[in-house]
Structure 1
Amino acid sequence: MIRKLRSLILLCSLLFSMTAKSAEETATEEPEENKLPLMYYQIAPNILTFYQSTGRKIGYIVVQVQIVVRGQDDFDLIDLHLPLMQDALIDFFNRQDKKTIEDLTQRESLRQQATQRIAEVIQDEVGRNIVENVLFTQYVFQ
């Protein structure tokens, strides 16, 4: 009787561990869309715009921007709507003040805001957000 009980407990624990492992594997599988490779679209030419500096002085900023998307289809959509994104980025940087542009601690915040702005523009055009990230690979101001 005790042997049967032990066998039953062992069988139940094996079944439970196999079910748990199967559920864990299913949960860790990536959705189909995430299996597409990351692609980096470099906006060319670099974004160059002016901003209000101190007093009557005007400063300028040059930013090299890379847009991260998944797959060739999304890459092609970025290429198609490039002028809208360039305009949005120029407007975005134009609205920043000297302190924000020159402050190293604000750069990550600027990058996140630029990502959000580009995502909004592309969402309006294609009906979905295809932007994974926006990277500043060069950032020069004077």
Structure 2
Amino acid sequence: MAEEVELEVKPGKSKLLIIVALVVVVLVGGGLAAWFLLGSSSSDVDPAAAEDVAPKATPAQIGDALYVAMPRALDFMIQGAHRPRTVQIKVQLLVRGQDAEQLARKHVPLVEATLHKTFSATTEEELVSLAGKERLREQALSDVRETFLRVEGQNVVEQVLFTGFVIE
């Protein structure tokens, strides 16, 4: 009647086949999960509504973000609680677009002078706290923007960044 057929499976090949099948299942499952989690359907968003929600870019925010580093760290003295203290701050300016970068590079000496004036007016108490450093950074941004408005008639700098900060 029916003959029994014996299948010979070699032990090394069956393990390899199982491993390959598991890898394929994991990769396919991972790909599908990523597609569902990260993918977005364009039919879900109304383009007119998306324009209303998105903030409008100001002229200072248009263009690529470029960083203009001051050529040297700014060194200044402040009066400490017990003795004078030396402070060194490395600064970079965040600007948008090539035109703003050229203007910032053109006026580096003016920016350095403005920052020296701003930094020298601070106190030791302000510089040792994170909130004080943030206030100093905001004051520096305000002063640099005011300088550019006076000299160039436009806002050139988006942010003043402290990339190095040492108090001795």
**TM-score, normalising length: structure 1:** 0.77
1:1-142 correspondence to structure 2 within 5 Å? 21-27=46-52, 28=54, 31=57, 33=59, 34-55=61-82, 57-142=83-168
Distance 1:35 1:112 in 2: 21
| CA distance in structure 2 between the partners assigned to 1:140 and 1:63 by the alignment | 6
Q: Which runs of 4+ in 1 moved over 6 A?
A: none
% identical aligned pairs: 26
Alpha-carbon spacing, 1:96–1:35, altered in 2? closer, same or farther (3 Å): closer
Residues 66 and 95, structure 2, Cα contact 8 Å, conserved in 1: yes
Report if aligned partners of 2:122, 2:136 keep a CA contact under 8 Å in 1.
no
Q: Which structure is richer in relative contact order (CA contacts within 8 A, separation 6 or more)?
A: 1
TM-score for the superposition, normalised by structure 2 = 0.66
State the distance in 2 between where 1:29 and 1:116 align: 22
Specify which structure has the higher proportion of helix. 1
- Rounded to whole Å, the distance in 2 between the matches of 1:109 and 1:32 is 23
Distance 1:115 1:109 in 2: 10
Where structure 2 has 5 or more consecutive residues not aligned to the other structure, the ranges are 1-42
Q: 1:37 to 1:90 in 2, by over 3 A?
A: same
SS in 1 for 2:122: coil
Shift of 1:80: 0.7
**Which of these two proteins has the greater Rg computed from alpha carbons?**
2
RMSD of equivalent CA atoms: 2.2
Quick one: distance in 2 between partners of 1:29 and 1:104? 29
